[in-house]
Structure 1
């Protein structure tokens, strides 16, 4: 466990989704980060004083190249990263425009159906966010 004097790392991200341009099915965006060799949802650390939702949308744009329309808040995820406590706030967000260009932070991007996204995600905590997205979409 982390010691109480360690600063909580504040981050934010989105479970980015779209309707498939081919068949209209729901697809979830996953990003591959070569530094960690993992598949995850777009997310990142907040800048000092940055609003969490604004930070989440900024990270989506930086990592995926897409502008997103925010939707329902999703569960906040807490875990330890590099020996420090980290808290990531998430929102559902629909990709509305843009396109992916590989960069230093993210070298690959996939649009997958939710069942395939669950399998591809590296961390179990990220799989739960796919379920949370589906639950919020059933309610709307």
Structure 2
């Protein structure tokens, strides 16, 4: 049995709408039929920071500026392997999405809509720390069960 933990990295990608509101980017992965944050496995010799930026570019078509570290998520993946994903809050520096083999849709949504649309509870747990990292009062967006 392989006890190696799969190492991955990703971002809670955000931007300001024309009205000044924060929008978060969610990606739809048809292989898993899920909505999630852009993320992926580290390549050999790649740092987590470099992987996070690369994955955002590959999955969303957007360049980004990494901000604050967010909590690292640990869970068992679809194959039953241990997985550890490091996350950052990252501001979009612009780009254009093109559907690809891994991601068929990109949506920009409010934090409340992100909480509703994200498939996994663990991903929802990153919304409040991401909003705090970009100086948005996370209390404005109650956590699951708080409303």
Q: What is the TM-score normalised by the length of structure 1?
A: 0.93
Task: Flag structure 1 segments of 5+ consecutive residues without an equivalent.
Answer: none
Q: Distance in 2 between matches of 1:130 and 1:29?
A: 11
Matches within 5 A, 1:1-140: 5-20=2-17, 22-81=18-77, 82-138=79-135
The RMSD of aligned alpha carbons is 1.2
Task: Flag structure 2 segments of 5+ consecutive residues without an equivalent.
Answer: 137-147
Preserved contact between residue 73 and residue 122 of structure 2 (Cα < 8 Å):
yes
SS of the residue corresponding to residue 134 of structure 2 reads: helix
Paired residues, number: 135
The runs of at least 4 consecutive aligned structure 1 residues that moved more than 4 Å come to none
Q: What is the TM-score normalised by the length of structure 2?
A: 0.89
Q: Distance in 1 between matches of 2:23 and 2:134?
A: 12
Q: Distance in 2 between matches of 1:33 and 1:83?
A: 19
1:66-115 deviations in whole A, cap 9, x for unaligned? 00000000000000011110000000000012110111100001000101
